[in-house]
A and B are shown apart, each in its own frame.
Chain A
Amino acid sequence: MELLGLSPALLALFVSFGFMVGVLFGFFGMGGSFLITPTLLILGYPAPVAIGSGLAFYFGTSVIAVLKHYDVGQVDYKLGAVLFVVLSIGIELGSRLVFGLEALGVAELVTGVAYVVLLAGIGLLFLRRAYRLEEVTDDDDDGVSDEEIPPIARKIQSYEVAPMLSLSSGGRASLWTILGSGGGVGLVSGLIGVGGGFIRMPAIYYLIGTPLTAAVGTSLFAGLFSGAFGTFTYGMSGGVDLTVVSLLLVGSALGARIGSAATAIVEEDDVIIYFGIMMLLASAGIGLSELGNWLGVGSLDALSVVLLVGSSFAVASIILYQVLASSGRAETTARPTSDGDDRR
């Protein structure tokens, strides 16, 4: 029996995986498309479909994120518009590269290897952050406020290579810096099907040089439109599986609500180490899948799905468990005493 062209098991997998990804990324504040594309690759979807569907999923989650934070903080609209154009060019080039690699028969391999490196890198960054959180005390605060521009960005801005673009924060950035950083992020997005928020926002903050609040808002603004463009580009060649994207979004929209509500209850510091480990396991899962393809051992694919999907289920479950445990504790302490007062 098939529903929407998928087996009930696959249908349930996509909705529940979308839900878990939504919980994770509602909690950690990321898009989550970088877990979707590799999962689709391991499940046997062709690289252009896995990448296109990952980008369409990213676009859907961006719409929800913008609706949720419709006052996206400070947005540098001029920079956002330039970035949108540059990101779109990068995505277009990346997608052409994917179809070229597909013609050569190496698209899955290149995308898989890129994901192994990317997820391992993110995992190590989160583990480093978890390690630092243990060491850092309030006295160690580096004193950088959200409104300041980081020293490396000030250094880059000091090289005035014409044409220069005035930023809403008062500074000026070379158009070449914007072209380089935006084009690079767009190329990565188009090549491996990630929204790229986790590299776009740091690129705006550290390379172009805007205050952190403006970097977040501008990244969201540019990301929404570049996500739409990526969906359009892959949609032109039939590289988006709308059924898969819809099922993932159904789960993820609910999960993201629960995940973002959980931030008020669960400390990010308590689960960040699990998130880092999850990324490393996901990276290992994709590596195993590539190894299985190379050696012709199909059973490694099953193990890689378990590692990739299982690790994200495990971390999302830890967050949900902590929410339930905290709610239980809060209820116990808030239970009224004999004289009617709360003990809270």
Chain B
Amino acid sequence: MIESAGLPPVVQATALVGVVFVQAVVLYAGYGVLERLVSPLIDRVANTSA
């Protein structure tokens, strides 16, 4: 659970939903950027070894 034991449960639960939401968006965008950076590199390595 979020380290916010002093806050009311409603605030904790809302923060939890927000954290999961933001985390999902960041992961989606982060892996998207990673994919765009890595794909050309993999293609180059594959072409070099072929």
Check if B20 sits within 8 Å of A59, measured CB to CB. yes
* B14 adjacent to chain A (CB < 8 Å): yes
Of chain B, the residue at the smallest CB distance from A246 is: B23
Of A56, A237, A253, A331, which is within 8 A of B27 by CB? A253
* B16 adjacent to chain A (CB < 8 Å): yes
Of A61, A246, A254, A335, which is within 8 A of B31 by CB? A254
Of B10, B14, B25, which is within 8 A of A67 by CB? B25
Check if A60 sits within 8 Å of B13, measured CB to CB. no
Check if A236 sits within 8 Å of B10, measured CB to CB. yes
* B9 adjacent to chain A (CB < 8 Å): yes
Of A105-113, A115-123, A197-205, A227-235, the one with at least 4 CB within 8 A of chain B = A227-235
Check if B19 sits within 8 Å of A253, measured CB to CB. no
Give Cα A231 to B19, complex, Å.
Answer: 11
Of A237, A241, A249, A335, which is within 8 A of B24 by CB? A249
Give Cα A335 to B49, complex, Å.
Answer: 11
4 closest cross-chain pairs (CB), A and B: A235-B13, A63-B24, A253-B27, A235-B16
* B1 adjacent to chain A (CB < 8 Å): yes
In angstroms, how far is the closest chain A Cβ from the Cβ of B26?
9
Check if A56 sits within 8 Å of B16, measured CB to CB. yes
* A64 adjacent to chain B (CB < 8 Å): yes
Q: What residues on A are CB-neighbors of B10 within 8 Å?
A: 236
Give Cα A305 to B25, complex, Å.
Answer: 30
* A245 adjacent to chain B (CB < 8 Å): yes
Interface flags for B17-43 (1: CB within 8 Å of A; 0: not) read 101110111011001000100000000
Q: What residues on A are CB-neighbors of B20 within 8 Å?
A: 56, 59-60, 63, 231, 242, 245, 249
Give Cα A56 to B12, complex, Å.
Answer: 14
In angstroms, how far is the closest chain A Cβ from the Cβ of B11?
10
- B-facing residues in A239-264 (Cβ within 8 Å): 240-242, 245-246, 249-250, 253-254, 257
User: Could you show 10 A-B contacts with beta carbons less than 8 Å apart?
Assistant: A60-B23, A63-B20, A63-B24, A64-B24, A67-B25, A235-B9, A236-B10, A242-B2, A253-B28, A257-B31
With A59-B17, A246-B23 already in contact, 11 other A-B pairs whose C-beta atoms are closer than 8 Å: A60-B21, A63-B21, A64-B27, A67-B28, A231-B13, A235-B9, A242-B19, A242-B20, A249-B20, A249-B23, A331-B50
Of chain B, the residue at the smallest CB distance from A56 is: B20
Give Cα A127 to B20, complex, Å.
Answer: 34
- State which size class the interface on B falls in: 20 to 34
Of A56, A231, A257, which is within 8 A of B35 by CB? A257
B9, B13, B14 — which one has the most chain A CB atoms within 10 A of its CB? B13
Assuming A67-B28, A68-B28, is B50 touching A335 (CB within 8 A)? yes
Give Cα A60 to B14, complex, Å.
Answer: 14
In angstroms, how far is the closest chain B Cβ from the Cβ of A43?
18
Check if B24 sits within 8 Å of A235, measured CB to CB. no
Give Cα A331 to B28, complex, Å.
Answer: 29
Q: What residues on B are CB-neighbors of A232 within 8 Å?
A: 13-14, 16-17
* A100 adjacent to chain B (CB < 8 Å): no
Assuming A228-B21, A246-B23, A257-B35, is B9 touching A236 (CB within 8 A)? yes
Of chain A, the residue at the smallest CB distance from B5 is: A238
Of chain B, the residue at the smallest CB distance from A67 is: B28
In angstroms, how far is the closest chain B Cβ from the Cβ of A255?
10
Of B1, B13, B14, B25, which is within 8 A of A63 by CB? B25
In angstroms, how far is the closest chain A Cβ from the Cβ of B7?
12
Of B1, B23, B46, which is within 8 A of A331 by CB? B46
Give Cα A236 to B14, complex, Å.
Answer: 8
Give Cα A232 to B12, complex, Å.
Answer: 9
